[in-house]
Amino acid sequence: MRLVLREALLTFRRAPLLSTLSVTTIAFSLFVVGLFGLVAVNLQQALREVAERVEIVAYLLPGTPIETVTLGVQDIAAFPEVQSATFVTEAQALARARGELVEFRDVLRELERNPLPASIEIKLKPTLRDADHVNEVADRLKGFGFVDDVRFGRDWVEKLDRLRQIAAAVGLVVGTAFAIVAIIIIGTTIRMAVLQRSREIAIMRLVGATDWFIRMPFLLQGAIKGMLGGLVAVGLSFAAYALINRWLIQAAFFSREQALAIVGFGTLIGLIGSATSVGRHLRRV
């Protein structure tokens, strides 16, 4: 095992140029994937922020006894889709209106009677903030006797849904395409490394090295190159992110898990790429 590791590392010393080339190729391929990933991450973040504002408001009939409302709020909060249900009294509604609608402050102050109804504000769980669930919850709310009217931005929720679907579809297609291109480029680079050592492989076979033994250093080396490439790609993505953040717009970066996933993906591609090219080479000779 120590020998396998040594052989794998020796390649970097024996063929520094080709090794650097492989790592750079892997890094830039993954960098492109990473940049796209950054766009996806930020788009998702933006959509999540928008979705955060998806809210359903149930206006209550005037004069509903407080006990009924409290029970109702408990019922609604127990809906599987619901994250929170908050009771807003008429007085609270008025106070809020006064605070928010500064232009009408005078009008609101001079009112003899509070025209605003009490309401229950409902927030759905983050993953369920789509048109279907919103509609369903709204329908169920209408079934409560003390509910006068249910409001939510229907158009808006539906548009958000569409946007989410488009983003997911584009993400899947473009992301897959980038990943495939990266795999092909990386595979070719590793194939060059194998061909460069074909003489050595031939001699190893001749003196009776097992296929496993011949394969291992390449797999290890491929994995190391993939990992280095992944690390460089994350570094480049971070640089790009820092630049964008500084000069263009406030953006989000990958979470630690996502960054690790990129490095892991690089390692995996390096491993698979070398496994297939060594395998093909061994079968051919």
Report how far residue 203's alpha carbon sits from residue 214's, in angstroms, rounded to the nearest whole number.
Answer: 10
> Which stretch, 19-27, 185-193, 211-219, 253-261, contacts other proteins (CB under 8 A)?
211-219
User: Which lies closer to other proteins via its Cβ, residue 98 or residue 205?
Assistant: 205
Nearest approach, Cβ of residue 14 and other proteins (Å): 6
CB of 191 to other proteins, least distance (A): 21
Phi/psi for 107 (5° steps) reads -60, -45
- CB nearer other proteins, residue 84 or residue 210: 210
Looking at 132, 154, 211, 243, which residue binds other proteins (CB under 8 A)? 211
Among 196, 210, 245, 255, contact with other proteins (rule: CB under 8 A): 210
Alpha-carbon radius of gyration of the chain: 30
> How, if at all, do strands 147-151 and 82-88 pair?
unpaired
Please report whether residue 177 would count as binding other proteins according to CB under 8 A: no
Give the one residue of 28, 87, 213, 238 binding other proteins; rule: CB under 8 A. 213
CB 63 within 8 A of CB 265: no
Task: Give the number of residues in contact with other proteins, rule: CB under 8 A.
Answer: 16
47-74 burial, b if ≥16 CB within 10 A, otherwise e? beeebeebbbbbbbeeebeeeebeebbe
Structure tokens at 92: 């609270």
> Tokens 């406030």, residue?
250
Q: Mask 20-49, x = binds other proteins (CB under 8 A)?
A: ------------------------------
Q: How far is the CB of 216 from other proteins (least distance, A)?
A: 11
CB nearer to other proteins: give 256 or 284.
284
- The Cα 199–Cα 104 span in angstroms is 86
Nearer residue to other proteins within complex by CB, 80 or 208 = 208
Contacts of 137 by beta carbon, 8 Å cutoff, 6+ apart:
56, 79, 81, 82, 122, 124
Residue closer to other proteins (CB basis): 172 or 203? 203
- Per CB under 8 A, 63 contacts other proteins: no
Cite the DSSP H helix spans in 78-153.
90-100, 105-109, 131-142
Residue (188 or 210) nearer to other proteins, CB: 210
What is the rounded CA–CA span in Å between residue 3 and residue 9?
A: 10
Q: Which of residues 186-205 bind other proteins (CB under 8 A)?
A: 199-200, 202-205
Using CB under 8 A, list all residues that contact other proteins: 3, 14, 199-200, 202-211, 213-214
